[in-house]
Structure 1
């Protein structure tokens, strides 16, 4: 091997060994570390997650989820997958419509999912609970009539991979509903920024004993694509008839897409 070839090979190896950088809030980290860092955040906030959701949204998150459930149009006997199910509140409501044993609740975070599993079992839903990475779903193709994900996709390392997996497990004609924080109207931004970067970490510190995790959650909202960009990502992943509804002046958005028949 001549010297030039060896130098080129060495450079290629160095380039190949470098990890891609990805956002963790406003911090850039190696992409393979994001899952663990997100897990640490949700391990920390899990015990008071529902309480903090109610306090920080003044209960509005329940109205947003109610809209998601209504738009899902779940009927008895439908198979439903709730991704990033967390403590299971959306899965619980969906189970009431789909019927016993027709809902699967999945999440990558064990601590959050454990709370959700207890809640779903106590309600007698018959829901399956699966600890899984949304980027590598452990389900066959064309299984579910509806897939939902609420306030989870912004924390995923590769949103495009996750969206393709959601498309894969949906049956033709099935629907994906993504409920997520988005871009609020411009007039609201100064107030929302103060709330997000001052009040949220303060409340997280005082009530949940973890200000930094709530700072990350606020930052992750700002790093998530806006409504139009995310709709484009859904279309690129293969979803048809993609649309969105702005909720509470765009603080939250509900995106809906269909798997072509």
Structure 2
């Protein structure tokens, strides 16, 4: 069954999954936090690091920039960015204190500092036009996408870049059917392997249902453009099972004037 049109999608998702988002997600992530990254590598048949490398390759950085990692989880992105450019100021926000505690320990073990905020990412506690780069990965299917993307647009500086990565709904119905079939097999196996608790095991049906009601890569690109982002680029991996996005906040004076398609990467002239 196809989800409703894009304009109605988030309202539909909220009505269907709002109770899970409000009441269950915290318990799920308390459960999976200690083994989150390892379990994803197993469930993805070892492709997890490849997804991460493709995502990181889209992110351009300049020395001294201010970065916000939304739904930062175990700080994998913030750590990778600081390894590439140690002069960055990196902020992380996530609703899960358990995931962020794992992330704090990982960063400190490497001698890195990431400022952490625990809170609702739909209402970002930062001023307008504050960050040069904002990232969001592996979380948007659990969120009100339009509301969050607008908040990210608000706190992003004009000319700043937003980078997104998540599991998406494939546009091809054959790929979609195979995808969900694989997840129905792999999620219970991974849960048993890591001895997941009741909260995570009970959420397996939700994870698939949430994807069925989610967006394709192309649809998320349309959402970003509708909010006012410029230079929106979307990449589909594995037939649309995973999508990557890059978008720019336009500068004053018009919707998208004066924004270069690509900033020079760190070290280039």
TM interval, shorter chain, is: 0.7 to 0.9
The higher-RCO structure (CA 8 Å, 6+ apart) is 2
Residue number among 209, 218, 236 corresponding to 1:219 in the alignment: 209
Residue number among 176, 180, 183 corresponding to 1:189 in the alignment: 176
Partner of 2:226: 236
Cα deviation for residue 186 of structure 1 reads: 4.1
Residue segments in structure 1 that go unaligned for 5+ positions in a row: 1-19
In 1, distance between residues paired with 2:123 and 2:177? 38
Which of the two has greater helix per residue? 1
2:67 touches 2:88 (CA, 8 Å); kept in 1? no
Alignment of 1:143-182 (within 5 A): 143-156=130-143, 158-182=144-168
Cα deviation for residue 101 of structure 1 reads: 5.4
- After superposition, the C-alpha distances for 1:109-158 in whole angstroms (9 at most, x for unaligned) are 111111111111222222211112211111111111110001111111x2
Cα deviation for residue 212 of structure 1 reads: 2.1
Change (3 A) 1:161 1:188: closer
Superposition TM-score, scaled by structure 2 size? 0.81
Change (3 A) 1:101 1:173: closer
Alignment of 1:76-155 (within 5 A): 76-100=63-87, 102-155=89-142
1:107 touches 1:132 (CA, 8 Å); kept in 2? yes
> Is 1:57 paired with 2:44?
yes
1:100 touches 1:125 (CA, 8 Å); kept in 2? no
2:73 touches 2:103 (CA, 8 Å); kept in 1? yes
Structure 1 segments (4+ residues) deviating >4 Å: none
1:79 touches 1:98 (CA, 8 Å); kept in 2? no
Superposition TM-score, scaled by structure 1 size? 0.83
- After superposition, the C-alpha distances for 1:153-206 in whole angstroms (9 at most, x for unaligned) are 1111x2111111101111110011110112334443343222112331233134
In 1, distance between residues paired with 2:91 and 2:47? 25
Residue segments in structure 2 that go unaligned for 5+ positions in a row: 1-9, 252-269
Change (3 A) 1:124 1:100: farther
Partner of 2:16: 28
Q: Which one is further off, 217-226 or 68-77?
A: 217-226
In 2, distance between residues paired with 1:219 and 1:113? 26
